[in-house]
């Protein structure tokens, strides 16, 4: 790592988003908020949706302001979990639903009629939450599932920035479609539920360069810089930024809802399903130093091995 490095991060939450610049030295991370903007779901006749075009436009404006103030080496995106966009022939199909839309409950009934929840939990390690991605997918019409790719919200933003469609592993682990032991998509489960396996690609670890700012994005921002994967589930990025010994500490993450958990080297399923789980990178980035919070979204993660955050 050079003596100093500046990176950009797009951090999207369920009520607001922001663009940050992180300035990294060997023993310090300084954060500057360049832009902050509201994020509110929109009630349409079809249900509750996210205005992802608004979020993308605000993120681009923030990156442009960041590029005008200083040079930075890369950009990455983190966001909330479970919600997604479907892309076909390079274009977003429809408007992504918000997880608070009521359709998830209908989807859960359809899924559990085919696969009991106990079996789902054994495969994925996820507590029952009616807005989990697989329940949302169960409500999609067949024409929607004829899309080329399913991209979680941060993956969708990465796609628009770089033109590269990837499924980052920490957000993929919240879909209810990933095998918790193998860290790969559960093809048997997807086939049983009628979800085409071609919708998803091999999960990509955080810290991987997927491309560079391209086309209209590069022209608007005024820079062509590498686009990286972050630990794109915002909880994963937040936990990585906590200056703690993962073998001796637990974490409490408070946002639009609260999570309590630990980092562990392998899944540990209790008899009663816990609050949530998410795949975590195994090595803490060298750029995550005491005092940082969510500031490692664009930091390079040196290890391709992984930890998972599981409830104790």
Q: Which residues are catalytic?
A: 234
**CA distances to 55, 206, 275, 283 from 137, in Å:** 23, 25, 21, 33
How far is 300 from 126, CA to CA, in rounded Å?
Answer: 28
Tracing tokens 């608004």 back to the chain, one arrives at 54
Residues 6+ away with beta carbon under 8 Å from 248? none
Q: What are phi and psi of 44, to 5 degrees?
A: -110, 165
How far is 77 from 285, CA to CA, in rounded Å?
Answer: 16
Alpha helix (H) residue ranges in the chain: 52-69, 103-114, 117-124, 133-137, 153-162, 169-172, 187-192, 215-221, 234-240
How far is 116 from 113, CA to CA, in rounded Å?
Answer: 7
Tracing tokens 């998830």 back to the chain, one arrives at 104
**How many C-beta atoms surround the C-beta of residue 119 within 10 A?**
13
Query: Cβ(145)–Cβ(137) under 8 Å?
Result: yes
Tracing tokens 């085919």 back to the chain, one arrives at 114
Residues 6+ away with beta carbon under 8 Å from 144? 86, 93, 94
């Amino acid at each position: 790592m050079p003596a100093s490095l500046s990176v950009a991060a797009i951090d999207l939450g369920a009520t607001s988003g922001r663009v940050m610049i992180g300035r990294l030295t060997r023993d310090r991370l300084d954060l500057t908020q360049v832009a902050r903007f509201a994020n509110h779901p929109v009630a349409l006749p079809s249900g509750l949706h996210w205005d992802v075009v608004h979020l993308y436009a605000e993120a681009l404006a923030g990156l442009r302001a960041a590029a005008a103030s200083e040079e930075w080496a890369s950009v990455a995106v983190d966001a909330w979990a479970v919600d997604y966009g479907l892309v076909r022939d390079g274009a977003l199909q429809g408007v992504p639903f918000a997880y608070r839309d009521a359709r998830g409950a209908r989807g859960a009934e359809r899924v559990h009629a085919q696969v009991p929840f106990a079996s789902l939990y054994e495969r994925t390690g996820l507590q029952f939450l009616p807005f989990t991605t697989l329940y949302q997918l169960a409500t999609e019409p067949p024409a929607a599932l004829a899309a080329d790719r399913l991209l979680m919200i941060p993956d969708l933003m990465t796609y628009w920035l770089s033109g590269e469609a990837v499924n980052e592993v920490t957000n993929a682990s919240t879909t209810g479609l990933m095998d918790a032991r193998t860290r790969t998509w559960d093809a048997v489960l997807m086939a049983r539920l009628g979800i085409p396996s071609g919708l998803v690609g091999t999960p990509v670890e955080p810290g991987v360069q997927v491309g560079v700012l391209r086309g209209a994005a590069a022209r608007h921002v005024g820079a062509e810089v590498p686009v990286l994967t972050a630990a794109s589930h915002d909880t994963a990025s937040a936990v990585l930024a906590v200056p703690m010994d993962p073998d001796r500490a637990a974490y409490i993450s408070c946002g639009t809802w609260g999570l309590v958990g630990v980092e562990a080297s392998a899944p540990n399923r209790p008899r009663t399903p816990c609050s949530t789980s998410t795949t975590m990178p195994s090595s803490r980035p060298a750029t995550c130093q005491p005092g940082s919070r969510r500031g490692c979204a664009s930091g390079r993660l040196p290890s391709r091995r992984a930890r998972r955050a599981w409830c104790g």
